[in-house]
């Protein structure tokens, strides 16, 4: 597994997809999803200049962050309320907030350490039963409720697409997330901006960039296939 080579390849594809879409490649941030992978692989990617790393298990995020507090750590997977306290002082951005009760727990824990926590609202844009995320038609209401919490700043939306769809189908889904972000932005809620769209993984980051992604989350395309999760 040549991480440097993989990173160069992914970055090349980001640049060409962004330019094709008439976008500045610098407006697409690559998050290296290092879940289940050893710290040595994080170190290797960091040596190549990577700054942003994504984890889906709070425990693993906490452990890796303790070794590399200089990097930016993203919680991208489902977050249980009782795990918030383990990562609140370690996480740059929580991508997966999909309920008011989770936001209230983040508010409480961020308040204790006097932090303003950046979050994204995870939206179940595909409507698949199994996926987590708030329903698109409930996202604005959730943002409105969370906007009253003083230790949380909503920076945008996140979604996970469905496996096995064509680029065109993914592009249509991702475009709906962008439109939803525009609708929410128009509400001008306190502490809510819709600058960030976290969408696209190894198999679908090209249509995501075309649809306006500002953050893509790439795991296997950088670190190789995972044995579990």
Ligand X SMILES: *Cc1c(COP(=O)(O)O)cnc(C)c1O
Residues in contact with ligand X by the rule CB under 6 A: 33, 35, 56, 76-77, 160, 201-203, 217-221
Question: Which one, 158 or 189, has the nearer CB to ligand X?
Answer: 158
How near is the Cβ of 23 to ligand X at its closest, in Å?
21
Helices (H), the chain: 3-20, 39-47, 58-67, 84-87, 100-112, 136-146, 167-185, 205-210, 220-223
- Residue 205: CB minimum distance to ligand X, A: 8
Q: Which is nearer to ligand X, 201 or 209 (CB)?
A: 201
Smallest distance from ligand X to CB 85, Å: 21
Nearer to ligand X, 76 or 152 (CB): 76
Q: Based on CB atoms, which residue is closest to ligand X, 129 or 225?
A: 225
* Euclidean distance between CA atoms 223 and 42, whole angstroms: 9
N- to C-terminal Cα separation, the chain: 19
CA-angle at 119, arms to 46 and 19, nearest 5°: 60
- Contact partners, residue 93, CB within 8 Å, separation at least 6: 72, 74, 75, 118, 119, 120, 155
Chain position whose Cβ is nearest to ligand X = 219
Cα Rg of the chain (Å, integer)? 17
Nearer to ligand X, 212 or 221 (CB): 221
- Min CB(220)–ligand X separation in Å: 4
74 Cβ neighbours under 8 A, 6+ residues apart = 31, 52, 53, 54, 55, 91, 92, 93, 94, 95, 217
CB of 32 to ligand X, least distance (A): 9
């Amino acid at each position: 597994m040549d991480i440097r080579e993989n990173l160069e390849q992914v970055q090349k594809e980001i640049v060409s997809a962004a330019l094709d879409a008439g976008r500045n490649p610098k407006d697409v941030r690559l998050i290296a999803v290092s879940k289940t992978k050893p710290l040595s692989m994080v170190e290797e990617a960091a040596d190549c200049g990577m700054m942003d790393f994504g984890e889906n298990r709070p425990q693993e995020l906490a452990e890796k962050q303790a070794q590399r507090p200089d990097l930016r750590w993203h919680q991208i997977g489902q977050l249980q309320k009782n795990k918030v306290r383990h990562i609140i002082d370690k996480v740059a951005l929580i991508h997966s907030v999909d309920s008011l009760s989770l936001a209230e727990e983040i508010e409480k824990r961020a308040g204790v350490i006097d932090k303003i926590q950046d979050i994204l609202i995870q939206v179940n844009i595909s409507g698949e039963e199994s996926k987590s995320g708030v329903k698109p038609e409930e996202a604005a209401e959730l943002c409105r409720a969370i906007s009253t919490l003083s230790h949380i700043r909503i920076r945008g939306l996140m979604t996970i697409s469905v496996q096995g769809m064509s680029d065109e189908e993914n592009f249509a889904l991702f475009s709906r997330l962008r439109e939803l972000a525009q609708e929410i932005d128009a509400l001008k809620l306190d502490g809510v901006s819709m600058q960030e769209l976290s969408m696209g993984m190894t198999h679908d980051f090209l249509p995501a960039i075309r649809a306006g992604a500002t953050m893509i989350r790439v795991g296997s395309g950088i670190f190789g296939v995972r044995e579990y999760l």
